[in-house]
A and B are shown apart, each in its own frame.
Chain A
Amino acid sequence: MHPPKVLVTKIGLDGHDRGSRVVASFLRDAGMEVVYTPPWQDIAAVVKLAMEEDVDVIGVSSLATDHLIVPKLMRALGAAGLEDIAVIVGGIVPDADEAMLLEAGVARVFHPGSALEEIAAEVVRLTSARRAVNA
């Protein structure tokens, strides 16, 4: 399989980007091609980027409630015909919100303490699934 192509990004107003940098670096070291963006991306730009780069998976990092606008991202991806791109969220996500995110179509939510290896394995799994569907 060609390396998974992953977008690691942050949407919204929160600028705590240490987590997304750690994850991006780990995925790179796991052999993946990682498009990394700084925080404060707007949703339209993320959708355009994901489309142009043809990423397999989008990872959204959230510390300070940015996860609440992820459903908006999911709708925008769907409207652009990109529902085959898997979205995962990592960061501070209360349990009640996790259910809401999964309901909105997020593939998986990672919490503090999640092993980086587990995140990488999930990205590989989601990539394989996407490519199998699209092949």
Chain B
Amino acid sequence: MSAEPGAGTLAAVLAGERRALARAMSAVENETAAGRALLGELQPHLGRARVLGVTGPPGAGKSTLVNALIGAWLARGASVGVVAVDPSSPFSGGAILGDRIRMGEHQAHERVFIRSLASRGHGGGLSRTAARVVDLLDAAGYDQIIVETVGAGQSEVEVAEIADTRMVVCPPGLGDEVQALKAGILEIADILVVNKADLPQAERTERELLAMLSLRHYDGWTPQVVRTVATRGEGVAELADLVARHGAACASQRRSHGGRVRRLIAASAADWLKRRIENLDGAEFEQLCTLVQRGELDYASADLRAAELALRAGKNA
């Protein structure tokens, strides 16, 4: 967005220099050449931070809970980085980035860094570059990093790949919606939070979640259910303890885990190829589309040829 990171940027980011870090985030978010180069240099400096992913349906209280967690971690002497993703309009591409206003209590604190990202058309509950913005916070020395997804439904499970601990926030009384969530984001949860637990349906929601969990089998960590009232801070200290316990119990399952790296590379490579193909122009691609429209070429063959064209275009770019 502003000053392209150049020489000295890596050192400034590692030193936690706030402005350099913010500008590096813009370069990474906008996928500039300098941003890519910086990420390469960053690689040996990653892996110290603990990353908590927070997801759940819109209005569950994710941002308010994040605000309360920031407070709990600050009180324990930790520094906290937050990446908050809000949806971009599919029509205008614009976005209102409003998560951080609910984190206002701590946003001015010296040991807090909050960055809002627009999803920019990326599915999965995050933006395409959110994981790399997390890397920057990690390299800058933030102890705890929180990634908050857009208000998520069933399949916004990408946060599971980039967080060490996955938290799903459920408001009480969703009833049927909790049922609907079962096959989706509830499955990725290490910790389930029934927020707004002062509402009358909270107990029932907690029971339903526990009943659901009791039907599944787990190796190692069994997902826990916690009740919170984020606006009043109730249950938040317990929640912070639980996050720490999960981190210690699942140290071998962290975000740098081999299987996750494999899936992240596959996802971002597929995304890269998709964008290349969408942006293909020229006679060859037009001809390919025409052949498919006329029924003279099957989709599977066309897929392969489109991928080849895109790879060739990528080399020339």
Listed in ascending order, the chain A residues whose CB lies under 8 Å from chain B are: 2-3, 5, 24-25, 27-38, 42, 44-45, 48-49, 51-54, 56, 80-82, 84, 130-131, 134-135
Are A33 and B2 in contact, with the CB atoms below 8 A?
no
Tell whether, in the assembled complex, residue B115 and residue A52 are in contact, meaning their CB atoms are under 8 Å apart: yes
Q: Which of B3, B18, B23, B94 has a CB less than 8 Å from the CB of A32?
A: B94
Interface size class of B (residues with CB under 8 A): 20 to 34
CB distance from A26 to the nearest CB of B (A): 9
List the B side residues contacting A51 at CB < 8 Å.
18-19, 22
Q: Which B residue sits closest to A26, measured CB to CB?
A: B94
* Chain A contact surface mostly: mixed
Query: Does the CB pair A28–B115 fall under 8 Å?
Result: no
B93's contact among A3, A37, A56, A131, by CB below 8 Å, is which?
A: A3
Asked whether A3 and B118 contact (CB < 8 A) given A30-B92, A33-B95, A48-B108, the answer is yes
Contact indicator B1/A35 (Cβ below 8 Å): no
Given A34-B97, A37-B101, A81-B19, are A54 and B26 neighbors across the interface (CB < 8 Å)?
yes
Partner of A80, one of B19, B93, B116: B19
Known contacts A28-B89, A33-B88, A131-B2; can you find 13 more A-B pairs with CB under 8 A? A3-B93, A30-B94, A31-B94, A33-B94, A44-B108, A52-B113, A53-B97, A53-B116, A54-B22, A54-B23, A56-B2, A81-B19, A82-B19
On whether A34 and B1 interact (CB within 8 A), knowing A28-B89, A54-B25, A80-B19, the answer reads no
Residues of A within 8 A of B231 (CB): none
Determine if B123 is an interface residue (Cβ-Cβ < 8 Å).
Answer: no
Q: Mark B98-121, 1 if CB is under 8 A from A, else 0.
A: 101100100110000111101000
- In the complex the two chains form, is B95's CB within 8 Å of A84's CB? no
Residue contact B19 to A36, C-beta cutoff 8 Å: no
Interface: B179 (CB within 8 A):
no
Checking B4, B18, B95, B101 against A52 with a beta-carbon cut-off of 8 angstroms, the contacting residue is B18
Q: Within the complex, what minimum Cβ distance (angstroms) separates B5 from chain A?
A: 11
CB neighbours (8 Å) of A134 from chain B are 1-4
Give, as a whole number of angstroms, the nearest-CB distance from A88 to chain B. 17
